Amino acid sequence: MSNPEITEEEIQAVYPTVAKTIADALGMDEDEVELKHSLIEDLDAESIDFLDLVFRLERAFKMKIPRGKIIEDARGDMPESEFEQNGMVTEAGMARLKTFLNELPADRFPSPLKAADIPRLFTTETFCKLVVRAQKDAA
C-alpha cells in the first residue's frame, strides 16, 4: 500500500467540494468549515456522520471510497496487531498515525489513544486527502 505524498495543490483542488459536502452533511455554512477543523471537536460531527459524509463524497466526486479506508490507509502495511493491542493504539501505531495525519499538530494526539477514538482526530483536510488518494487509486 503506497502512500504517495499529497501536495497542497491537490488538497486545494478538492477542498471547496469537500467543505461544501461537509457543510451540507452537518447542516452548516461552507465558510464554517476550515481545513484544520476537527470534524468531531470543532464541527460537532458524530462518528455516524462519517458514513453519510463518505457517501456524499463518493457522489460528489463520482468514485468509490471503501469503508474504513482512512484507518486502513493510516495502518498501511503494518499488521493490525502491531498497530493496536487491546483496543489501544501502540507506540508504533501512534508513530504511523502521526505520519499519516501529518496535518495535525502533535498535541492533538492524546496518549494513550483508544483505537475507537481515532476518528476524533479527523479534520476536513483528512477527508480532502482521502478524496485525493481515492482519485489516485482510481487513476
- Tens-digit pLDDT string for the chain (139 aa): 344 589 999 999 999 999 999 999 999 999 999 999 999 999 999 988 999 999 999 999 999 988 888 888 889 899 999 999 999 999 999 999 999 999 999 999 999 999 999 999 999 999 999 999 999 988 8
Domain ranges of the chain: 8-138
pTM of the model: 0.90
Evaluate whether 123 touches 38 at the Cβ level (below 8 Å): yes
What does the pLDDT read at residue 38?
Answer: 95
Evaluate whether 49 touches 22 at the Cβ level (below 8 Å): no
Cα dihedral across residues 80, 82, 84, 86: positive or negative: positive
What does the pLDDT read at residue 70?
Answer: 86
DSSP string, 80-116: HHHHEETTEE-HHHHHHHHHHTTTS-GGGS-SS-BGG
- CATH number listed for the domain at residues 8-138: 1.10.1200.10
What does the pLDDT read at residue 4?
Answer: 59
Grid coordinates belonging to 8: 497542497
What does the pLDDT read at residue 3?
Answer: 46
Instruction: For residue 129, give the H/E element and its range.
Output: helix 124-138
